Amino acid sequence: MNTIFSWNIRKSATIINEANRLGIMIIPYLHGPSWNEEMKKSLKEIQPKSAILAWNIGDDLTLKHLNKVKEAYNCIRKIDPNVHRPMMLDSSPKSAKKYANFVEMYSNYTYPLLKSRPLSKYREYLINGRQRVGMEKFFWTWIQAHTQIWYSKRFFGKTHHCPSFFPDAEHLRLLTYEAISAGVRGILYYNSRFFKESWHGKDRYAELGILGAELEMIGPFLAEGEVDIKNMHTLMPENVAVSIVNFSKGKLIILVKEGKEYQYQPDMAIVKDLSLSFSKNEVQGKRAYSLDFPNIIELKKRKSKDTVAFILPSMELTSMVLLTKDNELLDQIKVKMERLLPDVSKFAIEVLEGKKEKVEWVERSLKHIPQLEDVDTALKRASNLLLRAKSALQKGNYRSAYLMARMGQRILRVLQHKRWSEAWHDPNINRDGGLYNYYLLPRYYQIKEFLKK
């Protein structure tokens, strides 16, 4: 994670100076359809060496904006001292080709959480977006880290975004891996307020830190290579989506568990002894390695007459496997993991802390209803693992800290799924009542008790 998207053109100079000081990149928003003299003036104040990654010149564009956006594009090209700085935008699918013809970085996006379609359809949507403008085009997308306005209206009586327990860290992980498995080359998370602790975003923000570390490890493969769209497939009965990125020194296999109703609430999402099969010609001389924190593990293989299967011992939600015979490349990745591991372990603890606070709030609100037998046990186990993870971190046992924090997170996720699934699949309720996620359970039970009375 290295870039901030800034919507405020009036404060661009201040924000850019602060970004320079912090050593991060920034994408200012110069709204093409409302291009004016003030924007030109702000643009001229930008220093040539500013930490600007790109200019965003439009959001949710349609064909009626086309001429004005082209005008903005041409004007920025004349003023910007960096003639190679790219411009980016997102538009409706119907106008995709028109905009993609002249802009350097193009996007379509959709927000799939809390909708009826499974997350596999989200990946398909992104692939279709890429195919619409040409697979060689730099394609980026917004990833949903928020609840939409309809959610605020329905459940909080608000006409704007407001603090929300949903989505969880796990949702961000699943959406990120669905996006990169579709060949997306740039990711922006919307929106920043949902990463604030005051907006219940501690777990979401910390998970971004872990995702950033993972993308730092595999980013060069994604940048150089290309997803093999034709050979995408889903392993059944495990329901794991498999995407393969071919690059000069091997293959990167991206795995995503696409469980039922994960757009609402993921379950344990663990798969054991997953078999990844290739023809002997594809893997000649190559070995396979799991790149998941906190350890790089060489996978065992099983040979048959025409194929070689590599066995991934375990995956949780997502996984990444490297297939290569380049030992130097492997050593470089190991060095990266060791460098990133202390921070990743700290982030994992913060994910558990944030998730635990949210789950405990819900469970306190449900004390008046019959409890699942293992609620108290699960909360105590998660609390104990959090304490042990913090102790391990202080002692420099980063791997143990990471594993214990992730185990605590998993325990809470299983509890969430049991609670939510029990209510969601209750034949006596109308799903139109809006039981879209675990965090709405207190509201659901309040309504149920009211109707009984």
pLDDT in tens, 320-330: 999 999 999 99
Q: What is the mean pLDDT of residues 347-375?
A: 89
pLDDT at 371: 62
* Mean pLDDT across 393-409: 99
What would the pLDDT profile of 11-57 be if each residue is shown by its tens digit? 767 777 788 888 889 898 888 999 888 888 877 777 666 788 999 99
**Per-residue pLDDT at 432 exceeds 70:** no
Predicted confidence band of residue 373 (pLDDT cuts 50, 70, 90): low
pLDDT at 131 over 80: yes
Bridge partners (DSSP) listed for residue 453: none
Higher pLDDT, 240 or 28: 240
Nearest alpha carbon to residue 277 among 318, 315, 310: 310
Domains contained in the chain, CATH given:
4-225 (3.20.20.80), 240-332 (2.60.40.1180), 341-452 (no CATH)
pTM above 0.85, yes or no: yes
Is residue 83 within 8 Å of residue 77, measured between CB atoms? yes
- The token duo for 188 is 């922006």
Mean pLDDT for 235-255 is 97
**Tens-digit pLDDT profile for residues 80-129:** 888 889 999 999 999 999 999 999 999 999 999 999 999 999 999 999 99
Find the angle CA(102)-CA(107)-CA(110) to the nearest 5 degrees: 150
The per-residue pLDDT for range 279-290, each reduced to its tens digit, is 999 999 999 999
1 vs 331 pLDDT, higher one: 331
Average pLDDT over residues 190-219: 97
pLDDT score of 10: 66
* HSE value, Cβ hemisphere, 13 Å, CA-based, for 37: 0
Residue 414 sits at the vertex; the CA angle it makes with 413 and 420, to the nearest 5 degrees, is: 85
Task: Work out the average pLDDT over 249-277.
Answer: 97
